[in-house]
Amino acid sequence: MELSKFSVGYEGREVFWNAENFEGLLFAFTAVALAIFGYGIYGRWQMWKALGKPETRNDNLKERIKLLLLNGVLQVKTFKDIYPGIMHGLIFFGFFVLIFGAAFDATEFHIAEPLGVPFLTGKFYLIFSFLMDLFGLFVLIGVLMAADRRYITKPDRLGYKGEMDNTPDDAIVLLLLGGIIVTGFIIEALRIHVTNPPWEVWSFAGYTLSKAFASVDNGTAKTLHKITWWVHTFISLGFIAYIPYSRLLHIITTPANHFMSSLKPAGYLEPIRDFETAESFGTGQLEDFSWKQIFDSDACTRCGRCQDGCPAYLSGKHLSPKKLVQDIKTYWLERAPLIVAAKKAAGKAGEGATVEIPAPEKAMVGEVVNLHELWDCTNCMYCMEHCSSSIEHVPKIVGMRQYKVLMEADFAPELQLTFRNMENNSNPWGVGSHLRADWAKDLGIKTLAEDPNVEYLFYVGCSGSFDDRGKKVSMAFAKILQIAGVSFGILGTEEGCCGDSAMRGGNEYLSQTLMQTNIEIMNGYGVKKIICTCPHGYNTLKKDYPHFGGNYEVYHHTEIIADLIAQGKIILKKPVDGLFTFHDSCFLGRYNNIYTQPRSILKALTGMNLAEMERRYDKSFCCGAGGGRMWMEEHDGERINNMRTDQAIATNAHTIAVACPFCLTMMTDGLKARSMEEKIASLDIAEIVWRAMDIEEVKPPVDVCAPTE
């Protein structure tokens, strides 16, 4: 045993034990590693700012710092998915603590000890040692879990259509991480073996491992220790130097991306404001993205959470949000260095020299991102809600659609027809616009033209006005309002399409025309509060209309009904039968955080048995109709609505309750496709409530062949 200044009661260890003379070399190597790191980051910095349109993401610092702390430091978004969350948390928090530990060590050695005030001693030292070992072990467990996922369990999300997207980099990073910890433990074990102080049981991992060296003599152990010490040092410095050149870069880009998260309402799309002057619309080139949209792709960790709930991907279509982001990144990695070089060359040529950027070799839209992928997206927002790096997929997709629609007018013929119908009759089906209010004919509902002095405008929307199922929902809801004594009116034939499908289908020009027409009429009547039965209208009236001077308080009918029930204004007399399940609509849930209101309505019904689907709340599975997909053919893979219907059927429910006319159509079609329409009903919450109010006798279907007396 070696002599030491430490003893029981004055526990501690010599920080540079057996490595006393290595300090100089260590500094030199550290400097080299930091230089390599700095060089890499500098290069990347040049690439980040090389291209992309301007966008402000440093406003509202308070909110941004909060997001950074929550998602970057506390890993809230990462923990949303338990197992991988724990895996990453072990590595992240483990390293976090270890780095602090190393800083303590360094402070002790370089500052505290020379000043004669060592602090890594006694109880503090013991706890410190214990924690270091504990968190080291955490990292090791995390690394093993990660290796297990990547190389043994292989969940689909770490690949694309059955093919793992593993790269050598993934293995190198895991080896580096594991290597740092393992060599760290060996160093500790050898030191304990040689110095063998009684208190080192606190360094439980190193202590246990030291038993493995029991037969090694001190001399050999010290040599081994020196070797391992250098190996550990090199791996650690290598790790630092490797950061900018590997997936480890996410240590920087991901928290930065959390800091630069969109602070706009969920699903926000920036409107095009310069139709008259701009030459190009939408995203046709990489350069047409904003710098932040490009930076996003450098923050992607390929974790695959987005893909895990993407209805397009899971139904066997081309699109995977992960792949989309990665494809943009790969293309950026090709393009950005050329642009950096071109800028440098122009800089050398002096003031005023033009930057000669080489023409792109492939089409951004069509080749980098193929057209199937582009049009597969339902804008369901699953990807954005669950991305652990706060990446914004949907605006990128809509931007590229805008390019195809507005610039090239090259898109699915059925969508062209839909747009024409919206242009000519202000509804996607192209039904004559004079028929818009026919559903309300016998209900005694006043239009705002007849009486503008009402509290609410009931904005019915296209499905509620023209679709046979939708019309029944409108009637049910209008009757509920009438019974509850709510003061409301409709626009009648003056109402127009809300513009959501046009906007998300890339036709921003048409959508703005539709929105402005509605706004003109609504403002003309001095509308202040609006109720929508369709979450698409609800979302767009609430979030997009303000851009064009339409500022209203917008409510979804489930919010209103929940409130009326709570106030006792509607009485649910008749008990309901059978098992119910509720399908969360994307535009209600993920877009607007309305999860509890529809459920509270259902739970207010006597006899309600609610069986939840596995994918629910913010993990709900899209019905397939969002993002303009309602109007498009579904050529590839399984039909999304059938998949969702299957999930509903799996609950054994007798009624699928929905709160969106698109979802209603999709579930109804799904039930037909599965030949379940006789056994399971799909109903809007308004219809369920209206029936339970038991005011109108439900007429049995008329038997046309019954003998007349």
Partner 1 sequence: MNIVACVKQVPDTETLIKVKPDRSGIDETGIKWVMNPYDEFGVEEALRLKEKLSGEVIIVSVGPARALETIRTALAMGAERGIHIVDPALDSADPFTIASALAAAIKNIPYDIIFCGQRAIDDDCGQVGAILAELLGIPQVTVITKVDVDGNTIKVTRPIEGAQLIIESSLPCVVTAQKGLNEPRYASLPGIMKAKKKPVDVKDAASLGVSIDVKAKITKTLPPPARPPGKIICGEDPAEKARELARLLREEAKVI
Which amino acid is it at 318? H
Query: Among partner 1, ligand SF4, none, what does residue 305 contact (CB within 5–8 Å per kind)?
Result: ligand SF4
Which residue from 129, 139, 226, 130 is spatially nearest to 182, judged by alpha carbons? 139
Query: Among partner 1, ligand SF4, none, what does residue 319 contact (CB within 5–8 Å per kind)?
Result: ligand SF4
Structure tokens at 564: 């009326």
Are the beta carbons of 300 and 389 closer than 8 angstroms?
yes
Query: Among partner 1, ligand SF4, none, what does residue 359 contact (CB within 5–8 Å per kind)?
Result: none
Which bin fits 691, alpha (ψ -120 to 50), beta or left (φ > 0)? alpha
Query: Among ligand SF4, partner 1, none, what does residue 424 contact (CB within 5–8 Å per kind)?
Result: partner 1
Select 422 or 572, whichever has its Cβ closest to partner 1: 422
Query: Among partner 1, ligand SF4, none, what does residue 430 contact (CB within 5–8 Å per kind)?
Result: partner 1
Are the beta carbons of 45 and 295 closer than 8 angstroms?
no
Sequence-ordered list of residues with C-beta below 8 angstroms from that of 416, at least 6 positions apart, any chain: none
Minimum CB distance to ligand SF4, residue 319 (Å) = 6
As a whole number of angstroms, the distance between CA 670 and CA 666 comes to 6
Minimum CB distance to partner 1, residue 672 (Å) = 23
Residues that bind ligand SF4 (CB under 6 A): 300-306, 310-312, 319, 321-322, 325, 377-383, 387-389, 391, 393-394
Which residue from 576, 543, 536 is spatially nearest to 663, judged by alpha carbons? 536
Select 74 or 363, whichever has its Cβ closest to partner 1: 363
Select 46 or 416, whichever has its Cβ closest to partner 1: 416
As a whole number of angstroms, the distance between CA 80 and CA 86 comes to 10
| Helical (H) or strand (E) element with 593 | none
Query: Among partner 1, ligand SF4, none, what does residue 389 contact (CB within 5–8 Å per kind)?
Result: ligand SF4
Minimum CB distance to partner 1, residue 294 (Å) = 24
Minimum CB distance to partner 1, residue 709 (Å) = 15
Minimum CB distance to partner 1, residue 281 (Å) = 6
Select 303 or 681, whichever has its Cβ closest to ligand SF4: 303
As a whole number of angstroms, the distance between CA 615 and CA 380 comes to 13
Q: Greatest CA separation found in the chain?
A: 116
Are the beta carbons of 197 and 126 closer than 8 angstroms?
no
Minimum CB distance to partner 1, residue 416 (Å) = 5
Query: Among ligand SF4, partner 1, none, what does residue 325 contact (CB within 5–8 Å per kind)?
Result: ligand SF4
Select 247 or 674, whichever has its Cβ closest to ligand SF4: 247
As a whole number of angstroms, the distance between CA 678 and CA 700 comes to 15
Query: Among partner 1, ligand SF4, none, what does residue 300 contact (CB within 5–8 Å per kind)?
Result: ligand SF4
Query: Among ligand SF4, partner 1, none, what does residue 1 contact (CB within 5–8 Å per kind)?
Result: none
Which residue from 591, 525, 585 is spatially nearest to 552, judged by alpha carbons? 525
Select 316 or 432, whichever has its Cβ closest to partner 1: 432
Query: Among ligand SF4, partner 1, none, what does residue 419 contact (CB within 5–8 Å per kind)?
Result: partner 1
Minimum CB distance to ligand SF4, residue 325 (Å) = 5
- State phi, psi for 683 to the nearest 5 degrees: -135, 145
Which residue matches tokens 């349109």? 53
Select 410 or 455, whichever has its Cβ closest to partner 1: 410
DSSP alpha helices (H): ranges in 655-706? 661-673, 685-693
Minimum CB distance to ligand SF4, residue 379 (Å) = 5
Minimum CB distance to partner 1, residue 502 (Å) = 12
Are the beta carbons of 262 and 385 closer than 8 angstroms?
no
Select 655 or 665, whichever has its Cβ closest to ligand SF4: 665
Residues that bind partner 1 (CB under 8 A): 275-276, 279, 281, 405-409, 411, 413, 416, 419-420, 424-425, 430-435, 509, 704-705
DSSP, residue by residue, 50-66: TS-B-----S-HHHHHH
Select 246 or 511, whichever has its Cβ closest to partner 1: 511
456-459 and 488-489 strand pairing? parallel
DSSP, residue by residue, 169-195: HHHHHHHHHHHHHHHHHHHHHHHHHHH
Minimum CB distance to ligand SF4, residue 620 (Å) = 11
Minimum CB distance to ligand SF4, residue 365 (Å) = 15
Sequence-ordered list of residues with C-beta below 8 angstroms from that of 300, at least 6 positions apart, any chain: 250, 322, 325, 326, 329, 389, 391
Select 405 or 454, whichever has its Cβ closest to partner 1: 405
First to last CA, the chain: 114
Which residue from 585, 629, 587 is spatially nearest to 374, judged by alpha carbons? 629
Query: Among ligand SF4, partner 1, none, what does residue 497 contact (CB within 5–8 Å per kind)?
Result: none
Select 392 or 669, whichever has its Cβ closest to ligand SF4: 392
